[in-house]
Amino acid sequence: MNAALVLEQTLNGLQYGVMLFLMAAGLTLVFGIMNLVNLAHGSLYMVGAYLATAFAHWTGSFFLGAVLALPATLLVGVGVEVIALRTLYERDHLDQVLATFGLILFFNELIAILWGRAAIYTSVPPLLGGHLRVLPGVPYPTYRAAIIVVGVAVAILLWVLVTRTRLGMLIRAGASNRTMVGALGVNIRLLDTLVFGLGAALAGLAGLIAGPIYSVQPGMGEEILIQVFVVIVIGGIGSIRGAVVGAVVVGMVDTLGRAFLKPVLSTVVSAPAADKAGPALASMLIYLLMAAVLFFRPEGLFPARGRS
Amino acid sequence: MARGRRALVLGVGGLALALVPPLAAALNQPFYVDLFRRMMIFALAAASLDLILGYGGMVSFGHAAYLGIGAYAVGIPAFHGVDNGFVQWGLAIVASGLAALVIGAISIRTSGVYFIMITLAFAQMLYYLGISLETYGGDNGMRLARRSLFGPVDLTNPAVFYYVVLVILVLCLVVGGHVVDSRFGMVIRAARSNEPRARAIGFSPFRYKLAAFTIAGSMGGLAGALLANQTEYLTPDFMHWTRSGEIMFMVILGGMGTLIGPVVGAIVLLLLEDVLSALTAHWQIVLGPILITVVLFARRGLHGLLAGARPRDG
Amino acid sequence: MAEPLLAIRGLRKRFGGLLATDQVDLNVVEGETYAIIGPNGAGKTTLIGQLAGELRPDAGAIRFAGRDVTRLDAPRRCRLGLARSFQITSIFPDFSALANVALAVQAHAGGSFRFWRPAAGERSLTEPARAVLDSVGLGGRADVLAANLAHGEQRQLEIAMALATKPRLLLLDEPVAGMGLDESQRMVRFLGTLKGHVTIVLVEHDMDAVFTLADRISVMVYGKIIATGTPREVRGNPDVRRAYLGEEVPSPC
């Protein structure tokens, strides 16, 4: 284990944290304002990845594909909100979980019909294909570095949107008192749709940048979704700040655990034992972390105010 | 459901299910013995979830974890040459109960959406643990060399195995029926109905909910032991979160808080899957919207539709 | 003088910038009916919440029946004999009236880790429950689903549940809130019959009820107790008149 490898894996952890954040932000906003547990958020991630891939093939350009896929995913999200989810806001969490579970089955199968069950691949655009020299002797893939830059930019934009704009003010007000915002004459339905669309676009963005580095296949959304749950449970549901912190922590712990748990263990126990226990423990690490956080803070690290 | 009516439904339903093997033999359709046995195994899993979901109000989205632990509690000893059924199934009950105790101790401290996400996450953790068990087949899983041995009771005989499952299901439903109406059951139902009130009259719901969670986990583990024998194969997929969602859907489809409802839900859902999958490989594209429709429009499940607007007893 | 049944010393609770309970000292003697009144937002419900164990005070101590209960949670305090009713009706709506009260009997009796016998068939639970229902005048409504009871009946059921835990002290948070004149008079008459049998701490806006029932009254304004005394002393207290006449008319509201 050397310093260059540690640096590279730390950057990988950060990059994965960025992806988790893009997903967590939408999920946590939707929960904060509409009080909706949306399992189908992962489906929007998958839709984003597939649309970007399809548009990229069609236009021959990754960037054009991305530019087309974002608003398309947003539209899919708005459609889902208007047709199916809107009626669920007043229902209990159990109904929401089951209905959005039904949506997942639908979307996964729809994608399988359109593109097949096998994974499809896209490649990193040539412009971002090379390596950056982070430090002398430490190359890092440009594409992954770009993801980090995009994620940080989105986080800043989101922060400005929520704290500095009228829409953001409504979002914050809606999270603390939904009825009051409605009573003040704000079109709460439109606000809901906007927020949901924003969340969908962020999930789509995560999906489309995931395309070239992870496999694009039906069900891809759920693998990341459950890790996103861990993120927002750790961060505190409804809190953007919690989503940022939770995403970085989970991304780091997961990535570094997978990379270094085995070699670290082998310094303590025998090599065959470390070989066996390392991967098992690494895959459980973020869940153990979640359990530990909840043991001390049952509401997560940054509990959102105004709801129990 | 009133006690007398539940006993009646259980008796009639049990008899009807007991007729399946002779009927299947008469019609020369042995496949139905297999299908109905599978239904009863999932009925047991769904009924165990109903104990905590319908009566305890705990929306556990990780119930498939216990199914998986129960299956591995059969498969791992079998892999090492221990075929005794009492050992295997006993281990299934104890191990899944212990897992439920630990998961419950952490998740019951929280509530609402946290509870849903945490139970889901823990089940997923066990799923990944299963994948990382290379010795036992990793993500491909492994074949069960032989079904559990119970002396003269030969589970390789399809009808014998069928009646074993039926007896276990009926026994568990009888026990479950007593539990939900007992003093203990009243506490968890009270906590579901109005937790602050339950606390204000002097109940500390935590330990009762945890006990219920553990009982449900054990029952789920027993269902898992049966399932491993049913499929003679076990994989981490038993614990996959979509499996948890399916079990939960069985409970809602049949009608939660009724114990019998989930049995009906399991039978109907598996029948539906069977019919749909014969029509198209893409049957889930039909199942998804059906699920949404049931949730949106038939909130009280088939039991609610059949029983009409009958109030719950208490 | 014997130690009071309930003794509160230096109690303080802050919500953000709002001091909801400000250095409250209070003694309730066994057997008396003690009313806490004050304008809306004075912090009465917050005080009840801290007494019942649902809110944890920032500072101060609560002693009940000779024990420091400041750190005990609500169920434990209830088992020690400190029962409460809620300002907003809180019952088990999907259980019958009888089952509601039987649950309270069961909570007090203990032994809830019993898994086999149906609780509804246990006479040791249902008979005391029936007796309490009779005593609050709900005897004829025992088998009605609590959700289907009239509002006034649900308020009576709340009190019945509190009584079924055999409390030494009953915390009543606005027991006649939302009741019609008839219902509220009946409730006041019933609470009058409890006088002497059980110690009562009463928070109420209905001044008729307060002056009929209370042996002593404390007046709370902005989290502070500004006066304590018999109903007559409180009526004559100039601070009280200012607090009330300045902000709110002392009429049934």
Q: Is residue B80 over pLDDT 70?
A: yes
Rounded to an integer, what distance in angstroms lies between the CA atom of residue B280 and that of residue B75? 32
CA angle C142-C143-C149, nearest 5°? 75
pLDDT given at position B312: 44
Q: Is C166 on the interface with B (CB under 8 A)?
A: no
Q: In this structure, what token pair is assigned to residue B303?
A: 């039991």
Q: In this structure, what token pair is assigned to residue C105?
A: 């009997």
Q: Using DSSP, state whether C228 is helix, strand or coil.
A: strand
Which of B53, B124, B239 should one mutate to test binding to chain A, selecting the residue with the greatest count of A CBs within 10 A?
B124
Closest CA–CA distance from residue B228 to any residue of chain A (Å) = 22
Q: Is residue A149 over pLDDT 80?
A: yes
DSSP secondary structure letter of residue B249: H
pLDDT in tens, B81-90: 999 999 999 9
pLDDT given at position C251: 47
Distances (CA, A) of C22 to A195, B265, C12, C204: 42, 56, 5, 20
DSSP secondary structure letter of residue C214: -
Strand boundaries in chain A, DSSP class E: 131-135, 138-141
Q: Is residue B2 over pLDDT 70?
A: no
pLDDT in tens, B171-213: 999 999 999 999 999 999 999 999 999 999 999 999 999 999 9
Q: Is residue B305 over pLDDT 80?
A: no
**A96 CB-near residues (< 8 Å, 6+ apart):** A36, A37, A38, A88
Closest CA–CA distance from residue C201 to any residue of chain B (Å) = 16
How many other C-beta atoms lie within 10 A of the C-beta of residue A118? 10
CB contact (8 A) between residue B186 and residue C93: no
Q: Which range has highest mean pLDDT (B5-9, B106-110, B222-226)?
A: B222-226
CB contact (8 A) between residue B179 and residue C104: no
Residue C137 backbone zone (phi > 0: left; psi -120 to 50: alpha; other: beta):
left
pLDDT given at position C59: 94
Nearest to A101 among B124, B132, B245 (CB): B245
Q: Is B196 on the interface with A (CB under 8 A)?
A: no
Counting as contact any 3 or more CB pairs under 8 A, the partners of B are A, C
Computed over its alpha carbons, how large is the radius of gyration of chain A? 20
- Counting residues of chain A whose pLDDT is more than 90, the rounded percentage is 48
Nearest to A290 among B61, B121, B284 (CB): B121
Q: In this structure, what token pair is assigned to residue B81?
A: 């040459």
Nearest to A109 among B133, B135, B288 (CB): B288
Q: Is A295 on the interface with B (CB under 8 A)?
A: yes
Q: For A93, which residue in chain B has the nearest alpha carbon?
A: B113
User: Could you list the residue range(s) of the whole structural domain that residue A155 is in?
Assistant: 13-125+139-296
Q: Phi and psi for A42 in degrees, rounded to 5?
A: -65, -30
Q: Is residue A174 situated within a structural domain?
A: yes
**B269 CB-near residues (< 8 Å, 6+ apart):** B42, B246, B249, B250, B253
Nearest to B186 among C52, C94, C103 (CB): C103
Q: Is residue A87 over pLDDT 70?
A: yes
Q: Is residue A308 over pLDDT 70?
A: no
> Residue A115 belongs to a domain with what CATH number?
1.10.3470
How many other C-beta atoms lie within 10 A of the C-beta of residue B16? 10
DSSP secondary structure letter of residue B281: T
pLDDT given at position B233: 95
Computed over its alpha carbons, how large is the radius of gyration of chain B? 19
Rounded to an integer, what distance in angstroms lies between the CA atom of residue B177 and that of residue B263? 13
Cβ-based burial of B105 (10 A; exposed 0-12, middle 13-18, buried ≥19): middle
Closest CA–CA distance from residue C25 to any residue of chain B (Å) = 24
Q: For B120, which residue in chain A has the nearest alpha carbon?
A: A226
Counting as contact any 3 or more CB pairs under 8 A, the partners of C are B
Q: Is B272 on the interface with A (CB under 8 A)?
A: no
Cβ-based burial of B125 (10 A; exposed 0-12, middle 13-18, buried ≥19): buried
Of the candidates B145, B150, B66, B153, the one whose C-alpha atom is nearest the C-alpha of residue B101 is: B66
Q: Is B291 on the interface with A (CB under 8 A)?
A: yes
pLDDT given at position B276: 93
CB contact (8 A) between residue B114 and residue A294: yes
Rounded to an integer, what distance in angstroms lies between the CA atom of residue A244 and that of residue A223? 19
What is the full per-residue pLDDT of chain C (253 aa) written as tens digits? 568 999 999 999 998 888 899 999 999 999 999 999 988 888 898 999 999 999 999 999 999 999 999 999 999 999 999 999 998 899 999 999 999 999 999 999 988 999 999 999 899 999 999 999 999 999 999 999 999 999 989 999 999 999 999 999 999 999 988 888 888 898 999 999 998 889 999 998 888 889 999 999 999 988 999 999 999 898 888 888 877 765 444 444 4
Any idea where the domains of chain B sit in the sequence? 2-241
DSSP secondary structure letter of residue B309: S
Nearest to B282 among A113, A226, A298 (CB): A113
Cβ atoms B151, B212 nearer than 8 A: no
Domain count, chain A: 1
Q: For B313, which residue in chain C has the nearest alpha carbon?
A: C95
- Counting residues of chain A whose pLDDT is more than 70, the rounded percentage is 98
Nearest to A284 among B118, B129, B299 (CB): B129
CB contact (8 A) between residue B181 and residue C112: no
Which of A39, A97, A223, A276 should one mutate to test binding to chain B, selecting the residue with the greatest count of B CBs within 10 A?
A97
Closest CA–CA distance from residue C93 to any residue of chain B (Å) = 7
| pLDDT average, residue stretch B227-231 | 97
Which of A106, A222, A237 should one mutate to test binding to chain B, selecting the residue with the greatest count of B CBs within 10 A?
A106
Q: Is residue A166 over pLDDT 90?
A: no
Q: For A307, which residue in chain B has the nearest alpha carbon?
A: B112
**C172 CB-near residues (< 8 Å, 6+ apart):** C84, C85, C159, C162, C191, C200, C201, C202, C203, C204
Q: Is residue A124 over pLDDT 90?
A: no
Rounded to an integer, what distance in angstroms lies between the CA atom of residue B189 and that of residue B307? 21
Rounded to an integer, what distance in angstroms lies between the CA atom of residue A171 and that of residue C72? 39
Closest CA–CA distance from residue C34 to any residue of chain B (Å) = 20
| pLDDT average, residue stretch A40-63 | 93
Q: Chain B neighbours among C 168-207 (CB < 8 Å)?
A: none
CA atoms within 13 A on the CB side of A269: 10
Q: Count interface pairs B-C at CB distance under 8 A.
A: 115
Q: Is residue A22 situated within a structural domain?
A: yes
Q: Using DSSP, state whether C200 is helix, strand or coil.
A: strand
Instruction: Please give the mean pLDDT across all residues of chain A.
Output: 88
Nearest to B314 among C86, C95, C107 (CB): C95
Q: Is C122 on the interface with B (CB under 8 A)?
A: yes
Q: Is C119 on the interface with B (CB under 8 A)?
A: yes
CB contact (8 A) between residue B248 and residue A276: no
Distances (CA, A) of B297 to A100, A269, B203, B264, B290: 15, 57, 35, 18, 10
Q: Is residue A212 over pLDDT 70?
A: yes
Q: Is residue B225 over pLDDT 80?
A: yes
Q: Is residue A206 over pLDDT 90?
A: yes
Query: Residue holding tokens 């919207």?
Result: B289
Q: Is B222 on the interface with A (CB under 8 A)?
A: no
Rounded to an integer, what distance in angstroms lies between the CA atom of residue A225 and that of residue A100? 13
How many other C-beta atoms lie within 10 A of the C-beta of residue B10? 18
Which residues in B lie closer than 8 A to residue C78 (C-beta atoms)?
199-202
pLDDT given at position B129: 92
Cβ atoms A29, A159 nearer than 8 A: no
Cβ atoms B20, B8 nearer than 8 A: no
Which residues in B lie closer than 8 A to residue A91 (C-beta atoms)?
295
pLDDT given at position C1: 53
Q: Is residue B309 over pLDDT 50?
A: no
Q: Using DSSP, state whether A6 is helix, strand or coil.
A: helix
Q: Count interface pairs A-B at CB distance under 8 A.
A: 128
Closest CA–CA distance from residue C174 to any residue of chain B (Å) = 16
Which residues in A lie closer than 8 A to residue B125 (C-beta atoms)?
283-284, 287-288
Q: Using DSSP, state whether C51 is helix, strand or coil.
A: helix
CB contact (8 A) between residue B295 and residue A109: no
Q: ipTM of the predicted structure?
A: 0.90
pLDDT given at position C252: 43
pLDDT-derived band at B6 (thresholds 50, 70, 90) equals confident
CB contact (8 A) between residue B118 and residue A233: yes
How many other C-beta atoms lie within 10 A of the C-beta of residue C73? 14
Q: For B182, which residue in chain C has the nearest alpha carbon?
A: C118
pTM reported for the whole predicted model: 0.91
CB contact (8 A) between residue C94 and residue B314: yes
Which residues in B lie closer than 8 A to residue A222 (C-beta atoms)?
241-242
Q: Chain B neighbours among A 224-243 (CB < 8 Å)?
A: 226, 229-230, 232-233, 237
Q: Is B280 on the interface with A (CB under 8 A)?
A: no
Nearest to B183 among C84, C90, C114 (CB): C114
